[in-house]
Structure formats: C-alpha cells, structure tokens
Structure 1
C-alpha cells in the first residue's frame, strides 16, 4: 500500500511546514492529539481547518509550484532563528514546525514586514491563509457554509435563501445610499 498523495504533490515535511505557517497566521485548535503543525493557540478552526492548504495548492492560486521552495525557506529561517537564539528544535519535525507558537509568530511577523528583503515571498502565504479563513475561497460558499466552515460561520456569514441566492432586504447602513441605475438588469448587472 502506498502513502496517500498530499495536496499539490507536497511531501510530508512541506505540508507540515505550510500548515504551521497558516496556523500561525490564523490559529486554530489541534485536529488530533499530537498534532505538530497546529499549535492549538486558539479555540475552533483556524486557517488550516478553513482550507488554507487546498487554496495554496490550487491551480488558480498561482503559487503551488513554488510552495516546496517556500517551505524550505521557512525551515531555513527557523533554523537560523534557533541558532541565533540558542533554541533547541525537536528532531523528527521540520524546523518551523518545531518552533513554539510564539517563536513562529515572531518569525512570521519578521518575514512579512515591508523592510524584510524577502517580504514579497511571505505575504502571499499570509494572504492565502487569511483568504481561506475569511472567505472560504477553497470551497464554493454554499458548500463551505453547509459544512460549517470555521471562518464563515465564526463571522456570522449569512446563508443563502432557499433558492441558493443571497438577498439582503435591509440596507447595511440602514438607508439606501444611491438609487439603482435605470439600465441595471434584474440580476444587478449594468446594461
């Protein structure tokens, strides 16, 4: 029996590293006892439970091909941090995964500041983690809501009507902000 194929052709260390990064951006609870990628820093589902890895490895995302390189880079930065600060990293797991949640957070913050020379590499990873949680971008919205998507349900995202469409009878600001253009179609498209 062969090992199950991982999303995007990633190997196990790459998957763990990318999940740990996504969990650092939007933390969640551990999926099972001994979960190494998820630090368990927050209750409920975080970026990983929201489909961050599916989004990162999607063809539409456009970065799947560089994920192994990014995972290697995160692990290099984690090793450098550990060496610089005398941190002891657990054997058997990738260096970024072996960092404490606090150290992961510090490193992620350092990598994503505008002054960091590699910032353009790390911000997309952070953005995809946010997108997975706050938009459910890896799954159709109706399916995500039906499955109890952690981000969408946590934010109170309104479900569609019985016909699968969203209609909002109340104005979000409590009043109409503009009149509808006379050439707007019944579907809301400009003519």
Structure 2
C-alpha cells in the first residue's frame, strides 16, 4: 500500500475498530482484523460507515487521525523493539496485544490527543452496540452482529416493537385514553 492512501487509511481504521470490538478475520490474508475472536466485530458491524458519516463529527479528521495512529504505532514498535511487516500500515502490522496496549496509552487520562482517540473508540463501539447508521429493523433482518449479540428484540410482523411485559414487572403508568394502537397520541 502506498503510505497515506485510501487503502492505508481504511486498513488502519479497521484495525483500530477491531481493537475496540474484536472480530473474526473476513478472509485468510486479512491483516486489519486480528482475528482474536470467532464472531464478527465492529468492522463487520459498520464501524467505518459510522466514522465516515458527517454526523459523527470525526469524518473530516479520519485521514490525520489515521496518519497519527500509524506514527504512534511506529514509535511504539521502535520502543518495544518490534519489527513491523512491510506492505501494511504500522498500526495494522502490530499484533492484537500491542494494538490494545497502544490504544490504552492513547486513551489514557492526560494523553494530549486523548479526545480524538476516545471518539474513534466510542463510534467503533456504537457501530456494534446500536447500529446508528442503520434502520434497526433492517439491521436485525440482515443479521447485524452487535444487535444480535446483545439479544435486541425483533419487531412485530408490522415492523413495530411492542413489549407486552412490563420491564419492572408492574405497570408504572396507565395508558392515556387517546393513545392509538400504534402508540401515538391522537
């Protein structure tokens, strides 16, 4: 990969997201996904889509964050005496444990760039936990790994969610008499 290329940035951001919520390798030569678990993780859940969405507030900073992450990875490898593989970005070349250690350093209180790394971590986690970039019903129907992993309830056949059992095992308030069958006020 050419340093600073789109492929370089994508692989680096995928490796970061995979460090936050690990997933299974997508194919045998997958360098970005460390493959420390057997189930899909943040990348398959759509972390890069969430990060690249302008609504995230981080989309414009992804290129510089990717470059900074690779610079930190090179410095980390030098300090640890690691030899990084050629042909992949430095962060991608790190093993999972080293990726996790570096991310822990970057997100630690007092690190001057902490806010940027925390944002990347939060959005990577959000992609897995709540799929903010997808319609929930469609994400469930298509097998979104995070929503399935947390046991998110499927909607009723009409696409709406209804919960016949009370969450606290008792009714907390009476239903308003003007509430329609869909749950909307008249």
TM norm. shorter chain > 0.5 = yes
Shift of 1:139: 1.3
Q: How far 1:47 moved relative to its partner?
A: 0.2
Give the equivalent residue in structure 2 for 1:179: 173
Structure 1: stretches of 5+ with no match in the other structure: 1-9
Q: In the alignment, is residue 70 of structure 1 matched against residue 65 of structure 2?
A: yes
Q: Does 1:49 align with 2:38?
A: no
Q: Tell me the TM-score normalised to structure 2 length.
A: 0.91
Counterpart-to-counterpart distance in 1, 2:174 and 2:37: 43
Q: Note the alpha carbon deviations across 1:108-161, whole angstroms, 9 max, x for none.
A: 111112221211110010000110000011211111101101000111111100
Change in 2 beyond 3 A, CA 1:190/1:122: farther
From 20, 25, 49, give the equivalent of 2:20: 25
Q: Does 1:104 pair with 2:102?
A: no
Counterparts in 2 of 1:94 and 1:190: CA distance versus 1, 3 Å: same
Structure 2: where are the runs of 5+ without partners? none
Aligned residues between the structures? 181
Aligned with 1:163 (options 149, 158, 161): 158
Give the alignment's Cα RMSD to 1 decimal. Answer: 1.8
Over residues 62-93 of structure 1, what are the superposed CA-to-partner deviations in whole Å (9 max), with x where a residue is unaligned? 21111000000110110110111111000010
> What do the CA deviations read for 1:33-87 (whole angstroms, capped 9, x no partner)?
1100000011111000000001100122121111000000110110110111111
Deviation at residue 189 of structure 1 after TM alignment: 6.5
1:151 aligns with 2:179: no
* Cα separation, partners in 2 of 1:168 and 1:71, compared to 1, 3 Å: same
Instruction: Tell whether the 8 Å contact from 1:52 to 1:138 is kept in structure 2 after alignment.
Output: no
How do residues 80-99 of structure 1 correspond to structure 2 at under 5 angstroms?
Answer: 80-99=75-94
SS in 2 for 1:144: helix
Specify whether residues 113 and 161 from structure 1 end up closer, same or farther in structure 2 by C-alpha distance, changes over 3 A only.
Answer: same
| Conserved? CA contact 2:54–2:60, under 8 Å | no
Shift of 1:183: 8.3
